[in-house]
Copies of this chain bind each other. A is one copy, B any other.
Amino acid sequence: MNDIFSDRIKNVPKSFIREILKVIDDPEIISFAGGLPNKDLFPVEEIRKAADYQFDNFGKEVLQYSTTEGYLPLRQYIADRFNKRNNLNISVDEVLITHGSQQALDLIGKIFLNDEDCIVIEEPGYLGAIQCLSVFSKNFKTIKLNDDGLNLEELEKILEKYSPKLLYVVPNFQNPSGITYTNQNREEIANILKRYNTYLIEDDPYGELRFEGEQANTFKKLLPEKSIILGSFSKIVAPGFRLGWVIAPKEVMSNLVIAKQAADLHSNYVGQRIIYQFLKDNELDKHISKIKERYGSQKRAMIESIKKHFPKNIKYTNPEGGMFLWVTLPNNYSAMELFEKTIKAKVAFVPGDPFYVNKTNVNTLRINYSCSDEQTIEEGIKRLASCIKELVV
C-alpha cells in the first residue's frame, strides 16, 4: 500500500540532526550539535507582560481568526526596521508573516517549482532548506562557498547551463559554515543575476547577531526586483512562537499570499500580537546587544580553545556573528568517524554530511557556540581535540 504516497514525499531526506540529537540525549555529553538560541537570554518576563496586556485589552480580538498577510502593525514594524537598517524604502505590502522562515521557504517552493525545475544552493548548505525545497523538486545544483562568498565562476556556469528558478543563500554567518559574503562578492552576484531569470532567496535569520565587523549589504538593495528576503523572530526574540516573515516583490507576494492561505489561512495571531506588544514596550536593540555580547564572547572562547588544542592542520572559520563555526579536517578523514569517537569522549557536533546534497563521509563538521558557557566550551574543545588527534595522524 506504500505506493499510494506521492513521489515527492519519497525523496525528502529525514532530519539527520534529529537523529543525532537522539543519540546524544545524555546529560554528561557536552553538545555543540544543537542549533538552538540560548534560552537563558529569552525575555520571559517582558513577554509575559506583553501577553497580559494583549489579553487584558484586546482578548476577544486576539483569539479570533485574522488576515492571511499578518497583523498590520507587526508587518509595519518589520518594514520600518528593515528600511532603517538598510536605508531602503520597502512598503508594508511587501511583508508577509509566516510560521518561521521555514514556512516561507515552503511557500516559495510551492509557487515557483515544477517537478524538474532547478534550485541552486551553497555547498555546504542549510539542511532545512534542502529538506524543505526537495518536496517540490529534486533538481539541486550546488555552488562552492568560498571564504568571501559564492564561487562566481561556478555561479555563472550553473546559471548559463541550467536556468535555475531559485538561488538560495544565507549571506550572513551562514548555517553551517559561519561564513559572511563580502560586499564585493554580493555585488558581483547581483550583477551576474541581472542577466538571468533567477530569483535570489536571502535567508537572514542571523543578520542582526553581528558581534564583530561591519554590516554588509542586503540583496534587496543590490537586486531589488529579484530578491526575496526571509527573516525570523526565532533568534532575536524567541523561536517558540514560530514567527518569521518574507519580504518579496509584488508579483511574488500575490502568489505567496494565495499559497499561505491554502497552507494554513494565517499565522498564529496570538503570537503575532504578543510579539508586537513586546516590540512596542521594549527596545529590541538593547535586547539584541545582550545576545550579541554573550554569543561573541562564547565564540571568542571557542576560537581561543581551538587555537590552543587543535592540531595545526585543522582548518576552521572565525565567524563575525551568528551561532556556528565550521571545521575542516584534512582530506580523506571522515567527520562521521570522528563523531563516533567523540560520543564516547562525551562531546558532540554535527558531521558535515547533511549539509551536502550528494556527498557522504565528508571531512567537515559544524560546531555551535550559542548554548555553552566559556568553561564548557574549553572542556568540550579539549575533548574534541584529543579525538581529532587520535584520528588524524
Contacts and interface: CB of A to CB of B under 8 A. Distances in A.
Contacts of A99: 99, 264, 267-268
Interface residues of A, number: 79
Interface string A53-86: 0011001111111101000000000000000000
Contacts of A241: 63, 268-270
Contacts of A114: 6-8
A48 interface: yes
A51 B240 CA distance: 13
B266 A242 contact: yes
A268 B251 contact: no
Contact of A60 (B39, B128, B135, B261): B39
A23 interface: no
A6 B106 CA distance: 13
A71 B117 CA distance: 36
Interface string A1-17: 11011111100101100
A63 B51 contact: no
Interface in A218-253: 234, 238-243, 251
Residue from the set A5, A135, A199, A234 with the largest chain B CB neighbour count within 10 Å: A5
B261 A131 contact: yes
A376 to B, nearest CB: 18
Nearest to A34: B65
Nearest to A104: B264
A44 interface: yes
A102 B165 contact: no
A171 interface: no
Contacts of A100: 264-265
B39 A47 contact: no
Contact of A251 (B1, B112, B262, B263): B1
B251 A269 contact: no
A321 to B, nearest CB: 20
A103 interface: yes
A167 to B, nearest CB: 13
Nearest to A275: B270
Given A4-B197, A128-B265, A135 B112 contact: no
B9 A110 contact: yes
A160 to B, nearest CB: 17
Interface in A246-293: 251, 255, 258-259, 261-271, 274
Contacts of A1: 197, 251
A206 B264 CA distance: 18
A132 interface: yes
A228 to B, nearest CB: 12
A36 interface: yes
30 contacts: A4-B112, A4-B199, A5-B112, A6-B111, A9-B110, A14-B258, A18-B261, A39-B60, A40-B60, A44-B60, A44-B63, A45-B55, A45-B59, A47-B55, A47-B63, A63-B238, A63-B240, A100-B265, A102-B265, A103-B264, A115-B115, A131-B261, A131-B262, A238-B270, A242-B264, A243-B268, A263-B263, A268-B268, A268-B271, A270-B270
